[in-house]
Amino acid sequence: MQVDAAKYGPWAVIAGGSEGIGPCLARHLAEAGINLVLIARKPEPLENAARELRAATGVEVRTLGLDLTAPDMLDRVRDATGEIDVGLLIYNAGASHTFGPTIDWQPEDIVRIIRLNVEGQAVLAHHFARKMAERGSGGIVLMGSLAGVAGSPGVVPYAGAKAFSQIYSEGLWWEMRHHGVDVLHVVVGQTDTPAMERLGIVYPEGTAVGPEAVARVTLENLANGPVVVMPEMQEGFEQFVRPDRRNVVETNASFILGNLEGS
């Protein structure tokens, strides 16, 4: 797999770079000679990921321990990246840490998931899109979810936020292609990541996609926006875009609830 370092380098910013898909994306970019800024909320796994990348590839890896829902998030990202030339933004953060009926969620949890998946990615994409437009090249990747294609019981606020992500990406793709900047929304689904384990979602053996596969599909399709669907999710994606929305939601609900641990 070849990543165009001239177009997407010399620096890439990965928000959500400490676990799951993030480190896999980072490793491929580092192997292409692209320096990295990794952003994540938990300092220890973030520093561990950066240390491993430096040792394995020799590229410069900077870290920013940051809650992407913080009021000063954009200011801190600006401060951390102001003097470097960023050619690629990957917004890989946004997993839900709450599962259950929406009326059982706390209001602050709903606000947090919207800030993380809507406000956070929108303002970071806007910030770096401006800079990339000035230089005439670059790429922006917003990681999505199959949950954002159909009503998804148990993660209703998260699914709604991911729906925003896809539509935002599609419009931004059209606007930014005139500036030489690629925009890609990646629809993932049954993925074997720590975030899914924390929610208690266990997929049947052999059905979940590993983070490495997601990373490869993402980087192989940087120029193929506005939307790429993981091959394993293609059938589900096509089923979920049908107009008979009641049937779509009922089918999706049966699938999600059937994969809960212990069900």
Residue 201 is classified by DSSP as: B
Predicted confidence at residue 95, as pLDDT, reads 84
Is residue 263 a part of any domain in this protein? no
Predicted confidence at residue 233, as pLDDT, reads 75
Is residue 173 a part of any domain in this protein? yes
Is residue 183 a part of any domain in this protein? yes
pTM comes to 0.89
Predicted confidence at residue 192, as pLDDT, reads 59
250 is written with which tokens? Answer: 């009922």
How many Å separate Cα 112 from the centre of its chain? 16
Full pLDDT tens readout for the chain, 263 residues: 789 999 999 999 999 999 899 999 999 999 999 999 999 999 999 999 999 999 999 999 999 999 999 999 999 999 999 999 999 999 999 888 888 999 999 999 999 999 999 999 999 999 999 999 999 999 999 999 988 988 889 999 999 999 999 999 999 999 999 999 999 999 997 765 565 555 555 555 556 688 999 999 999 999 999 999 998 877 777 777 766 778 878 887 887 777 654 44
Is residue 146 a part of any domain in this protein? yes
> 251: domain CATH number?
3.40.50.720
Predicted confidence at residue 262, as pLDDT, reads 46
133 is written with which tokens? Answer: 């437009």
Give me the number of domains the chain comprises: 1
Report the C-alpha gap between 12 and 86 in whole angstroms. Answer: 6
Predicted confidence at residue 19, as pLDDT, reads 87
Report the C-alpha gap between 122 and 203 in whole angstroms. Answer: 31
Sign of CA dihedral 47, 53, 56, 60: negative
Is residue 97 a part of any domain in this protein? yes
- Please work out, in degrees rounded to the nearest 5, the angle formed at the alpha carbon of residue 259 by the alpha carbons of 168 and 116: 30
Q: Which of 128, 131, 226 has the alpha carbon at shortest distance from 169?
A: 226
- Residue ranges making up the domain that contains 67: 5-258
